[in-house]
Amino acid sequence: MRASLSDSELIRAYRGGDEQAFEILLTRHQERVYTKINFIVRDSELANDLFQDTFIKVVRLLKEGKYIEEGKFLPWILRIAHNMSIDHFRRNKKMRMVRSKDEMDVFATVDNGDVHVEDQLVENQIHADVRRLIDELPEDQREVVRMRMYDNLSFKEIAATTGVSINTALGRMRYAVINLRKIVGDNNIQLTPY
């Protein structure tokens, strides 16, 4: 019977001291959260560690009253899981750059064949420039671009994570590409080494 309660009802019960309410939330969402983390890190042992860290953080934030009930509990947890996974790579300087194959020319950069030091520096600078360009986008567009380009999420996964429809996620990506092309054109930015 308690398992039929909504996430919001379970959160209120947990905040009221009902530890079992959180167990139900954990059971309800653990597979999605673990899958998201494992999809990003591609290492089951690391995914388990980050999964535990994610739920420790969720518990802490809930106890501190930092979750605002808007009926979007799962996207909130998935965002925390996403951020913790990315933070792990940043801390360990193992962040891998994922490039689009033919989706957008704005993200197409040099190939990683036999690369000389100078070419690698140029490529690193291009990646840094692209990240700075993405940072100039409005938050909703920036979020979709990062999920699509760096996390390799499908638009269906992006929609579920952000709590919007697939069409909205697609629209945000389309506007992001238009805005990026405009920024590149207006500022005469070159994203290719030669």
> Which of 61, 63, 49, 50 lies closest to 19, judged by CA?
63
pLDDT at 95: 42
Helix runs in the chain, H state only: 7-15, 19-41, 44-63, 73-92, 117-135, 139-145, 155-162, 166-186
57-71 per-position pLDDT tens digit: 998 888 888 887 766
pLDDT surpasses 50 at 109? no
**Count of C-beta atoms within a 10 Å radius of residue 45:** 8
Question: Whole-number mean pLDDT of the chain?
Answer: 79
CATH fold for the domain made of 105-186 = Arc Repressor Mutant, subunit A (1.10.10)
pLDDT tens-digit readout, 138-181? 999 999 988 888 777 888 888 888 889 989 999 999 999 898 88
Instruction: Give the C-alpha separation, 111 to 3, whole Å.
Output: 51
More confident residue, 72 or 111: 72
Higher pLDDT, 126 or 169: 169
Residue 66 has a pLDDT of 84
The angle subtended at Cα 179 by Cα 178 and Cα 181, nearest 5°, is 65
| Token pair for 105 | 């020319």
Whether the per-residue pLDDT at 105 is higher than 50: the answer is: no
pLDDT band at 93 (very low <50, low <70, confident <90, very high): low
Which residue in this structure is represented by tokens 């999420």? 153
Give me the helix-helix angle, 19-41 and 73-92, nearest 10°.
50
pLDDT in tens, 4-17: 898 889 998 998 88
Q: Tell whether the model's pLDDT for residue 104 goes beyond 50.
A: no
* Residue 32 CB-density burial (10 A; 0-12 exposed, 13-18 middle, 19+ buried): middle
Own/partner pairs, 141-146, CB within 8 angstroms, 24+ separation: 141/172, 141/173, 141/175, 141/176, 141/179, 142/176, 143/172, 144/169, 144/172, 144/173, 144/176, 145/173, 145/176, 145/180
Entry pTM: 0.49
Q: What is the pLDDT of residues 14-58, one digit of tens each?
A: 988 898 998 999 999 999 999 888 888 888 899 999 999 999 999
Look at residue 103 in the predicted model and tell me its pLDDT.
Answer: 44
Domains 2-92 and 105-186 alike in fold = no
CATH number for region 2-92: 1.10.1740.10
- Write down the domain spans for the chain: 2-92, 105-186
